[in-house]
Amino acid sequence: MPTLRHIHPRISVGSLDHCRPGSSDCAVIHACKSPCHQRAIGYSGSLPKAHEHYLARADEHDLWLNLVDPHIPLFQIDSFTHFLAFAAPRHDSGQSLLLHCNLGESRSPTLALLLLARHLHSLPAHSYAEARAAYESLDPAYRPGTGIAQFFTENWHALTCSCSHCAGRESD
């Protein structure tokens, strides 16, 4: 089993081996389409883009994100907005966060990096490259896929800015 990595107080990153239901002590962010998002919504294959939970579904202690890790950036800003809206208040209230994806190398640590830069201000936020370099010192197992690295490089300002213009912006 890959190691669960504690990268910041009350923030851990892991793989599918660490998937479990969230609790009042620890909220869980499931950053993988298969199997977590599919199980939470109850579908196989693909979900229609018009479905209300196409990007995300949340309950009190769990957030399921419809994220895959393609070689080309197919992400939407709104996926990361859902993540921040779920994770930030839970962390602020003292709840621990467990972020996991299939391998624990790309999607879940990238979400942790975003939370540390955007909300907790414990990483540099000027650019993804700068934040990534600082994050890698905390988490040497970070291996972002080419698609997510390109998406974060190209959309860093929109991901880290909270102005109304950026908050409503989507990337195709």
* Alpha-carbon distances, residue 1 vs 136, 138, 153 (angstroms): 21, 20, 31
Per-residue pLDDT at 1: 57
Per-residue pLDDT at 3: 85
pLDDT of residue 112 exceeding 60:
yes
Its pTM surpasses 0.85 = yes
Local structure of residue 96 (DSSP, 8 states): E
pLDDT (average), residues 20-32: 97
Kindly report, residue by residue over 75-103, the tens digit of the pLDDT: 999 999 999 999 999 999 999 999 999 99
pLDDT of residue 165 exceeding 90:
no
| Domains in the chain: ranges and CATH | 7-162 (3.90.190.10)
Higher pLDDT among residues 2 and 67, named by residue: 67
pLDDT of residue 32 exceeding 80:
yes
Tell me the pLDDT band of 164, cut-offs 50, 70 and 90: low
Per-residue pLDDT at 152: 97
Per-residue pLDDT at 161: 78
